[in-house]
Structure 1
């Protein structure tokens, strides 16, 4: 668990590491400073909050988004939100160094979120 990281919404760790690979659990758009507060409104704000939460967890491990090799993204309103999600998401990675990614439409997410993202990072050699 990462000090100051988002409060888990289920029984899991923020991340697990093995062999230089770090698996980050899916992050929700909750505010670590106000975990019981309302979620941000809309896919843009929720995507930013999720990405910020990933950065908090990565930073707590001495890593950054530049160490991310792969992301899995989950959207509850795929057709409606996919384009807007991509607009926000792409701003967190340089075009020449984007991680591999899969985006999946799902029927629901914990805490009523519109988006959740998990990722796999690699510790630099």
Structure 2
């Protein structure tokens, strides 16, 4: 039987009542989607680059609370509300957070809209070393 652990850290943006910040199961952590927002759920100003930075910093905080880290990510999913405008801008910031020789697998898709009017959202699956 599988044992799941639900992750919560007050150092990260609090989750809405409908999901957890992350769930640990069978040596992996599944991190819920992160918007580029503050702890009081206000989207950060500065467009997709500022939101990407804030979302990845929050993702890193949740991973750390789970016993993992950005370097242990195996899969990332990114959602952009304006793919043509924001793909390259988002990638500029994204590349600052990962070793270029050890990039995780990734999917990036365009969506009609995101919660709170965000430009981007990111989620991941990581190993727990």
* TM, length-normalised to structure 1: 0.92
Give the secondary structure class of the aligned counterpart of 1:95: coil
Tell me the equivalent position of 2:5.
none
Task: Look up the match of 2:24.
Answer: 17
The answer to whether the Cα contact below 8 Å between 1:17 and 1:23 also exists between their aligned partners in 2 is: yes
Q: After TM superposition, give the deviation of residue 64 of structure 1 in Å.
A: 0.9
In the TM superposition, what is the alpha-carbon distance from 1:38 to its structure 2 partner?
4.6
Q: Does 1:113 align with 2:118?
A: yes
Q: Partner residue of 2:76?
A: 71
Cα distance in 2 for partners of 1:90, 1:80 equals 17
| Contact 1:27–1:116 (Cα < 8 Å) also in 2 | yes
CA deviations 1:43-89 (Å, max 9, x no partner) are: 11010000011011011112110011010000000010001111110
Q: Verify: 1:93 aligned to 2:98, yes or no.
A: yes
**Contact 1:67-1:122 within 8 A present in 2 as well:** yes
Give yes or no for contact 2:29–2:63 (8 Å, CA) kept in 1. no
CA RMSD of aligned residues (A): 1.3
CA contact (8 A) 2:13 2:41 kept: no
Closer, same or farther: CA 36–104 of 1 in aligned 2, 3 Å: closer
Task: Summarize deviations over 1:5-48 as a string: whole Å, max 9, x none.
Answer: 2122451001111110110000011112xx14452221110100
